[in-house]
Amino acid sequence: MHEPHFESTYQKAGVDIEAGYESVKRIRPHVDSTWRTGVLGGIGGFGGLFEPDIKGMKRPVAVSGTDGVGTKLKIAQIMGKHDTIGIDCVAMCVNDIVCAGAEPLFFLDYLAMGKNIPERTESIVSGVAEGCRLAGCALIGGETAEHPGVMDDDDYDIAGFSVGFVDYDDIIDGRSILPGDEIIGLASSGLHSNGYSLVRKVFASDLGNPGVYVQDLGCTLGEELLRPTRIYVKPLLGAIKSFEGAVKGISHITGGGYYENVPRMLPEGILARIETPKFPEMPVFGYLAAEGKIPAPDMFSTFNMGFGIVLVVDAGKAGDVMAFLSGLGELPVHIGSCVSGEKGVELAW
């Protein structure tokens, strides 16, 4: 009886084992660059090991988040530029975690593709590593899977998972929000990673040549659409720790825009009244609305419109918090306040 040739048979099925080895070799330096205190071992094991440093916490609570980047991936594939999409993946997870006041400690990614092209895999993971460095969390593991026959060779998808910790008494869940508390927006970099199914529909004819300069945007359409999602972890944690109890609620403005996300940080009996004239006039949103003939309410229910994070801050400390964030390079804007009313958000035009 002859021994079966597992490797050659697997390769004939479309899975290149050698490419997998080459990818691991290429991504290892990127992974190592994210390590922080608490990382145990290295990549290659069956599980990522992390010993959390939770000294000083009376009642440590783990906060987890998982997400992907949606159809923004198609823009990266059209452009043939893959080194920023990983930043988006990290951002979508860690920005959610910090909304509870937790510090993200580690991250894992899952990368599925039709064909493992080591250079492309390295480029994608380099973006993940950059996102982790920006967030201060360690990339401790992941999975790269080839799906021949299910995905085209040029197709891939990425998702991530992160875990952080916060002391139970320091959890930010909006329960302390009162009428009169101020609402502050932190500037986004643009579209971030939401609404791209609509974006792709609006710009369908233009995506055949995304490298053409667009006067209204001040850059090419491809450059604008691939602009990475901002990561807010470090400035938010700094504000939370510097002004104990001042930051009462945090909302990550993602899919669903303001109508869906702002109420998630509010307690019953509190209405968030937001003044849209205070929003920045970012070219991408005006251009998108004009090209797609999208009404303002639809824009605000789909996109971040210039603010990736919205905070509720104690009225007496709002000025200090804004000054602190400005000192870190953020662009905080006072965009409204909380009032008594049915839980929800009211946009004033």
Domain ranges of the chain: 7-11+13-170, 182-348
Number of residues assigned to the chain: 349
DSSP secondary-structure letter at 169? G
What per-residue confidence (pLDDT) applies to 90? 98
**Mean local confidence (pLDDT), 159-184:** 97
Contact 191, 294 (CB under 8 A): no
Rounded Cα distance between 225 and 221, Å, is 6
243, 324 contact by CB (below 8 A): yes
The answer on pLDDT for 3 being more than 60 is: no
C-alpha span between 265 and 272 (Å, rounded)? 10
Give the per-residue pLDDT at 2: 46
Q: Which residues, 6 or more positions from 12, have their beta carbon under 8 angstroms from its beta carbon?
A: none
For the stretch 114-129, pLDDT in tens is 999 999 999 999 999 9
CB atoms within 10 A of CB 120: 19
Res 17 pLDDT > 80: no
pLDDT of residue 10: 61
- At 44 the pLDDT is 61
Position with higher pLDDT, 51 vs 323: 323
Per-position DSSP letters for 48-66, written without gaps between them: -EE----TT-SSEEEEEEE
Q: How confident is the model at residue 154 (pLDDT cuts 50, 70, 90)?
A: very high
Identify the CA nearest to 140 among candidates 41, 234, 54: 41
Give the pLDDT confidence of 249-291 residue by residue, as tens digits: 999 999 999 999 999 999 999 999 999 999 999 999 999 999 9
Tell whether the model's pLDDT for residue 18 goes beyond 80: no
Domain covering 182-348 in this structure, CATH number: 3.90.650.10
Say if residue 327's pLDDT is above 70: yes
- Selected residue with higher pLDDT from 256 and 10: 256
Q: Has residue 96 got a pLDDT over 70?
A: yes
* 298 pLDDT higher than 90: yes
The answer on pLDDT for 345 being more than 70 is yes
- Is the confidence at residue 23, as pLDDT, over 70? yes
Write out the CATH class of domain 7-11+13-170. alpha beta
The pLDDT assigned to 14 comes to: 66
Confidence of residue 1 (pLDDT cuts 50, 70, 90): very low
Mean pLDDT of the chain: 93
Of 61-65, 102-106, 208-212, least confident by mean pLDDT is 208-212
Given a cut of 60, is residue 64 above it in pLDDT? yes
* Beta carbons of 110 and 236 less than 8 angstroms apart: no
Residues of the chain with pLDDT > 70, as a percent, come to 94
* pLDDT confidence bin for 79, thresholds 50/70/90: very high
Percentage above 90 pLDDT, the chain: 84
| Per-residue pLDDT at 22 | 80
